[in-house]
Structure 1
């Protein structure tokens, strides 16, 4: 199969996702410039996958203080903050249990204060554009932690990959990257109540994250912090209910983002019970859905964009 591709092997990896699977890494056409600063400088197959997802999300917020935590190629906490420590605390708070043995990525320099908190969290990889000298001293003392310095700017990182490739027995599937952004034509407020400036900002934040979660995906967020990320579901109704269950009382006045069309009015009722203030979804102009959000004075934004990710 590999003979069908013009690939240049970089090296063999220790193993694939499982120890019985062999794995290799081949050179990319536009490779990422990075350094592993820890003594253990070999990135494993699963670590590379997790690191990619973490950087994909963090690069969405390259110009602000952002932190993304990923486990099993799925985000489990994302946040923006007034500084990088604030962003880290908020991201870790979303799901501290799932964060163990995960990958944490930063948009800005990791300093001594943040490094001291990372030391206690149990991550396997920390990635950042830079680390202070004191932060490096702390992190190098953490057993099993790999430190990855990303030299390519996160703004440029977004441009490195143009296509997604899936090898199947039917043939090799190739599609362009999902890079569709919200704009004035795709951001339509269909409810009677109009969103506040703060609600719009949180809605855009949640929408950027649900784009990278595995479908069927739902994100609940508030104050630039994920409160729940429900992903990998086979039913959107269940995805919404699970997100609301996880967020619990924190869902009050929060944003709910769905990566596809919300098909059932019951999901609107569930969101209302959770006191969600705004729903952002793909939408299709379904009148019964819009009437339901208007009845309970909830904001709904329809983007006309789906962000399905398998």
Structure 2
């Protein structure tokens, strides 16, 4: 304990700081502090050395300059193993600072406020704090830096037993640099947002993700993997969901559950259920009750539904849970806004390993500025998220026959679903229920063929959704053979005219959306 003599405390987040400082003082450590932090500690009866007593300069420029002084940074950066460094401190009357407890101005909280001005944001860019944190983190061999209030107790416990090691200081140094890096990243993003309209995408993209946990392996057992959450994200997601039961989520579980949740988030007015296998929907339905929606989603492809991921946009009730846990059924993951107590009990009893995830009520704010990233070897593809939606007013009826009200409902429903199917993608639907899906095929005709096989006899009277335009008449020919009565597609093919003519010959209703939904 004789090595720990002076602690400098200057924090924006004052959670737990009084108790921490009191215990430091009880250990014989002298407290140096600044501004508001110093006042709070003094009010609690803690003896504080004010920064001006150390620097022999007053805090100035409305607090912009407080700790930027050799008396502070010399005390932090001195290499205690070098005789000449310590001799210089003595000659200059500088006290070695052994513990730096600093966190930064609330920039994130400031810019999150509605109507915040640029001047207010700039005033909350900390300068002295990051400088002290980085100086202490650099000199971790001799100085302990603490930026996170959750570390206070652990540091105290180590100090009380004289067990604060170099490895501990190195870990705290890592957290300190992560803290300042995140802070700088927030500022960079904020300033980039101010000039986005002029410059488009930023010149530099830096990762900002926090590890949630390591995974047993990746897509395959020979690949190591981990799961990270996006910093600052408040959107309903797998990353923010609470796991209530079951084994740890695997890499593929997380990927598939994300696909399932994103699909049901498309539907708000009615209960919706998605059954996902390998990131594609094998069943999807909306209905007036959750039970009916589940029954129809499951019946879309019962064989593929074994070992699937199920997402629901309403709280899971008892009847739906009973249906889900029927004989010869197996589910890997269920994700929903919540679970009734009896429903939760039934699911837990049926499958010991099933992962049950609770998101809370869906409908949280979607960040339209968030980008979609696709990693390629040696680079990164960045694009806007595909958040585009359509209404019946957006549709262009290009056939002679207008779609009926029932067809129109199914066309809009199938269009929302096909957006979440890997391209080339075809969806057959009827009564707001998916009958068959053809996903990820090199040929659009093959995708329709697969969708027909899945739909079976139910395909008669269905509607067809194609995620991109029809380049030839062949898809429409197969749709007619399948008994489809209406089709929704982007349009834009050089053969649109002859494709529309063929639709008219067979009394099919055809609508164009004017946009496509490739998903690779």
Q: Does 1:18 align with 2:18?
A: no
Distance 2:366 2:270 in 1: 15
Q: Is the 8 A contact 1:59 1:157 kept in 2?
A: no
Paired residue secondary structure (1:115):
helix
Unpaired runs of 5+ residues, structure 2, are 1-204
TM-score (norm 2): 0.57
In structure 2, what is the equivalent of residue 290 of structure 1?
A: 500
Distance 2:465 2:374 in 1: 27
Which of 379, 384, 403 is the matching residue for 1:195? 403
Deviations 1:200-228 (A, max 9, x none): 11100000000000000000000010000
Alpha carbons of structure 1 residues 13 and 188: separation in structure 2 relative to 1, 3 Å: same
Distance 1:38 1:44 in 2: 14
Alignment of 1:1-310 (within 5 A): 5-29=207-231, 30-31=233-234, 32=237, 33-40=240-247, 42-120=248-326, 121-141=329-349, 142-151=351-360, 153-156=361-364, 158-159=366-367, 162-183=370-391, 186-284=394-492, 286-310=496-520
Structure with max Cα Rg: 2
RMSD of the TM alignment (CA)? 1.8
For these two proteins, the number of residue pairs brought into alignment is 306
Unpaired runs of 5+ residues, structure 1, are none
Structure 1, 156-165 or 27-36: larger mean CA deviation: 156-165
- 1:241 to partner: Cα distance: 2.3
- 1:157 to partner: Cα distance: 6.3
- 1:67 to partner: Cα distance: 0.3
Distance 1:172 1:34 in 2: 27
Q: Is the 8 A contact 1:76 1:98 kept in 2?
A: yes
Distance 1:181 1:109 in 2: 25
Q: Which has the higher strand share?
A: 1
Alpha carbons of structure 1 residues 160 and 107: separation in structure 2 relative to 1, 3 Å: farther
Distance 1:158 1:95 in 2: 31
Higher RCO by CA contacts (8 Å cutoff, separation 6 or greater): 1
Q: Which has the higher helix share?
A: 2
- 1:173 to partner: Cα distance: 0.8
Q: Is the 8 A contact 2:315 2:336 kept in 1?
A: yes
Alpha carbons of structure 1 residues 92 and 283: separation in structure 2 relative to 1, 3 Å: same
